[in-house]
Amino acid sequence: MIERDFPVERIFELALREGNRKKPIYEMHKWWARRLGSNVRAILIASNLESSSWVDTVFRQFYDPQVSLDITVFDPFMGGGTTLVEASKLGARTIGLDIDPVAWFVTKKEIEYCDPSAIEDEMKRIKEDVSEDILRFYRTVDTDGNEVDVIYYFWVDVISCPECSGKFEAHPHFMLFQSKSANTRTVFCKKCHEVKIVPVQQKWFKCKTCRTSTTVLKGTVKDGLFTCPLCGHSGKTSSLPKSGKPLPKRLFALEYVDSQDQRVFRRAERHDLELFQEARSEFDRRRRRLHFPRAKIPVKERTDRRPISNGHQYYHQLFNKRQLLHLSSLFRRIEEVKTQNVRENLLLAFSDCLAANNMLCGFAFGYRKLTPLFSIHSYRYVSRPVEGNVWGAKYGRGTFTRCVKKLIRAKEYANKPYEIRYSERNLERVHLKSVIHKPISTDIASWPTDGSHSLVLNGDSTEMQGLPRDSVDIILTDPPYYDNISYSELSDFYYVWLRRGLKASYPDYFGKTSTPYREAIIVRRPKSHEHHKYIEGLVQVFKNCARVLKDKGIMVFTYHHKKRKAWLALGHSLIRSGFKIVNVFPLRSEGKSGFHSHSGNIKWDCVFVCRRSSDTTDTSNTVSIKAIIGQAERNLEQWEKRLGESGIGFSDAERESFRNSLVLCSSSKKRATPEILSQVFDRLKSFPQAKKHPHHNVVSKFDHETS
């Protein structure tokens, strides 16, 4: 049925909700650009229905607890494992492959059984052994003299002006929190850091302690530039750090839970500074025995120079010494867990907590919570980093205890998965018969004779030599998006910690010093030969897909991009690998808000449905370029009309991305050669576009208001 139609409008409603709150299984560990489970489930169901089926049948089966698909599903770029999880929920056999060992480990633990109570029991023992040793370094004294738990410490970079050599703090503003309900701001003095609460409309205040006047929103850094408050000199903040020497930092404020269970901001006092110095001395004394990574951050062939450009040369420089001290203690204690499966799951929870316990974490001032590293799909410079409580207080984001609780919820969900059915007034959990946890194999030689239901592999997708020919019913994947950032560059942050605990069990996967980020199929430098290398890589993967796919099997994948060069590369890859595009449709791939909500970003995927092509006829002299583009424009206009009637539309960037996908589909149906396809995209630059449908910006307006 997916070759003919798909319930895009109804799936849109689910995507908006799930995009902002994913199911517990997908919160076990960070993975970037993870596909939405509801989208994947609907695609698998529609791919298994007869062409004559009604579109509503997709949703009947979507919420049918008994539905079971007797098929084999393969994902050659499995990433965070969404395809394998959703296919397992539908009872299908699954094969997943990824070049990144962290992706392999995350997916393996998602679908591998582990008793949640065993994790809880081990966590109680870990708490008895190490929690107090950690928590004593995250305590302060409240105004009544009571010892209380700290939630967050606030640090700031200290800049030495290149012009006058004066030192100043790199504050983007002098605010800690803005309360929407109370219409107030929690602010601090730019000189002595004394904290006070002022009305949100108040632009400046005078400190009662030091009598200094502070303009709340007039900081010393903005948009990557600094301005010295002493001499007025300005420059780029990226020019300040030296190689291997990030900017020094100063602790200036904190937030704690008082004895009445209220959250309170306060400037850092002498005993807070002394406590950090005690942790620092303890780290220096035990440094050689502590279990933290000493690895350098790889430099060669990076797509993003951060965090190296910010002065970081080693991964441990992304953490302060208090964080390293306690993360190392936790890691060592987890290594002592005797049961391998429980130990590996706790390692995964530990790895997940790393993103919220480093010195590249910011603060969401309107939401009163820490923003972890990789909240956007990259490293970022944070002039005012936030240090959380590694073990965890009553409040606080990304603590180790919270990550373990997320893990336990994920395991409970995997044992009893459900889908959520929404109505106007409530929601209903529809529990499914098929569980996620299935017998799993990591050995291609013994698959499938060992009785395993899932095969999870770490390896190069351009090879796949061990997978049998004609063994897969559906391929559902999300290939690399041309010149988007290499996720293996980012996952190396986790890898350098995990490899110590996993290399003995998985030497082939975790025995190297870094992830194989340089082997990823991605264009790092668009003007280099890597454009052709990207095409060759995709061609080889798609050829392998064609080999393992059954005669009546289909390949479905998602893609979007702003650049026509990326679309041309994708089109060439499909033609050369022997696939024809039989259908393309849009699918909402993100929720309502977040860091990626501005109008230039794309929140809609283009879904390609492909079959192996046996037609090798050369049509270079008969294909009309005008006809190809004209058909794509008419299809775009029809889609905009269809979605507009449901109050849904595209932003300009999303419209152009979908238009390019329709051009590929039209070219494929007319059996265009690679040469003709290149001419088509050359003509697209000047060819008159179809008139925009009046509803085409509905969603963009909605996203803008929400974000």
DSSP letter, residue 662: H
267-319 pLDDT, tens digit each: 999 999 999 999 999 999 999 999 999 999 999 888 888 899 999 999 999 99
8-26 pLDDT, tens digit each: 999 998 998 898 888 999 9
401-449 pLDDT, tens digit each: 999 999 999 999 999 999 999 877 788 999 999 999 989 999 888 887 7
Instruction: Please give the radius of gyration of the chain, using alpha carbons only, rounded to the nearest integer.
Output: 27
Query: So what's the pLDDT on residue 693?
Result: 52
Query: So what's the pLDDT on residue 85?
Result: 97
Question: Both tokens of residue 637?
Answer: 């206009």
Query: So what's the pLDDT on residue 700?
Result: 41
Residue 197, phi then psi, degrees to nearest 5: -110, 130
**Mean pLDDT on 486-502:** 95
Query: So what's the pLDDT on residue 148?
Result: 96
| Long-range pairs, 61-70, Cβ under 8 A, ≥24 | 62/419, 63/419, 63/421, 63/430, 65/430, 65/431, 65/432, 65/433, 66/433, 67/91, 68/433, 68/434, 69/44, 69/45
Query: So what's the pLDDT on residue 144?
Result: 87
| Long-range pairs, 665-669, Cβ under 8 A, ≥24 | 665/581, 665/583, 665/584, 665/608, 665/632, 665/635, 666/628, 666/629, 666/631, 666/632, 666/635, 667/571, 667/623, 667/628, 668/571, 668/574, 668/575, 668/580, 668/581, 669/580, 669/581, 669/582
Question: Both tokens of residue 129?
Answer: 């052994």
* pTM of structure: 0.94
- How are beta strands 234-236 and 225-227 bridged, if at all? antiparallel
Query: So what's the pLDDT on residue 704?
Result: 39
Burial pattern 498-520, b for ≥16 Cβ within 10 A else e, equals bbbbbeeebeebbeeebbbbeeb
- CA-CA-CA-CA torsion sign (293, 298, 304, 307): positive
pLDDT confidence band for 55 (50 / 70 / 90): confident
Query: So what's the pLDDT on residue 596?
Result: 46
Distance between CA atoms of 336 and 177, rounded to whole angstroms? Answer: 41
561-609 pLDDT, tens digit each: 999 999 999 999 999 999 999 999 999 998 775 544 455 688 999 999 9
With pLDDT > 70 as the criterion, what percentage of the chain qualifies? 94
Question: Both tokens of residue 706?
Answer: 């929400």
120-175 pLDDT, tens digit each: 999 999 999 999 999 999 999 998 899 999 999 999 999 999 999 999 999 999 99
- Nearest partner of 700 among 583, 591, 598, judged by Cα: 598
Q: Which residues make Cβ contacts (< 8 Å) with residue 540, sequence separation at least 6?
A: 462, 577
Check pLDDT > 90 for residue 362: yes
Domains (range + CATH), the chain: 8-112+410-484+522-706 (3.40.50.150), 117-172+219-398 (no CATH)
pLDDT confidence band for 75 (50 / 70 / 90): very high
- Nearest partner of 476 among 556, 579, 583, 581, judged by Cα: 556
**Mean pLDDT on 78-94:** 96
649-706 pLDDT, tens digit each: 889 999 999 999 999 999 999 999 999 999 999 988 765 555 555 554 444 444 433 3
